[in-house]
């Protein structure tokens, strides 16, 4: 539905855990804070979300848009590190869980399937996870977790 991302509108503190190496069996995680601000456009059928990672000296920006005919969301990420817009992930929400998929590459250029999960959505919190699959979605490695707490 076009209002699926309404929970994200507003101001957030974000606790991040990010795997330092992907798809090599690593268990080395780094933790860092962030602040996020999200607002709607097109009466909720689109969102822009800006996130700042103060200890990393970087920021990011997502553009999310709902496609009514396909009944799906597409989310695009832009990083201040390279200024490039990444390929989208697309999908939707069912039973309070958002699941979106797309094709991407790891930091070392390996093609992967990417999955975003939105879970534990309440009026004051939410959880986002990114996972990669290098074997055609047979297995997934979660590599980034964001815990959102409303400011």
Is position 11 within any domain?
Answer: yes
Structural domains in the chain (count): 1
pLDDT tens for each residue of 42-56: 988 999 999 999 999
Does residue 23 lie within any of the structural domains? no
pTM of the predicted structure, to 2 decimals = 0.95
Whole-number pLDDT of residue 78: 96
pLDDT tens per residue, range 60-102: 999 999 999 999 999 999 999 999 898 999 999 999 999 999 9
Residue 145's domain comprises: 4-17+28-150
- Residues 6 or more apart whose CB falls under 8 angstroms from that of 108 comprise none
Residues contacting residue 150 through CB under 8 Å, at least 6 positions apart = 10, 11, 12, 13, 123, 124, 125
Return contacts of 125-134, CB within 8 angstroms, 24+ apart.
125/149, 125/150, 126/7, 126/8, 132/22, 132/23, 132/104, 132/106, 134/23, 134/110
Q: β-strands 10-19, 141-150: how paired?
A: antiparallel
CATH of the domain at 118: 2.40.128.20
- Is 22 part of any domain? no
Give the pLDDT confidence of 5-14 residue by residue, as tens digits: 999 999 999 9
76 within a domain of the structure (yes/no): yes
Position 106 confidence tier, pLDDT thresholds 50, 70, 90: confident
Q: How large is the average pLDDT for residues 8-36?
A: 96
Report d(CA 139, CA 30) in Å as an integer.
22
């Amino acid at each position: 539905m076009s209002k699926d991302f309404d929970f994200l509108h507003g101001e957030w503190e974000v606790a991040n855990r990010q795997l330092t190496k992907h798809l090599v069996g690593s268990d080395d995680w780094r933790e860092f804070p962030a602040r996020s601000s999200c607002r709607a456009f097109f009466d909720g059928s689109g969102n822009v979300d800006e996130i700042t990672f103060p200890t990393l000296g970087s920021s990011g920006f997502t553009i999310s848009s709902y496609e009514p005919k396909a009944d799906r969301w597409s989310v695009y990420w832009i990083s201040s590190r390279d200024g490039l817009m990444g390929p989208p992930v697309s999908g939707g929400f069912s039973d309070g869980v958002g699941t979106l998929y797309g094709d991407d590459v790891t930091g070392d250029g390996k093609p992967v399937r990417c999955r975003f999960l939105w879970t534990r959505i309440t009026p004051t919190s939410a959880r986002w996870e990114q996972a990669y699959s290098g074997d055609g979605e047979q297995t997934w490695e979660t590599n980034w977790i964001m815990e959102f707490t409303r400011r």
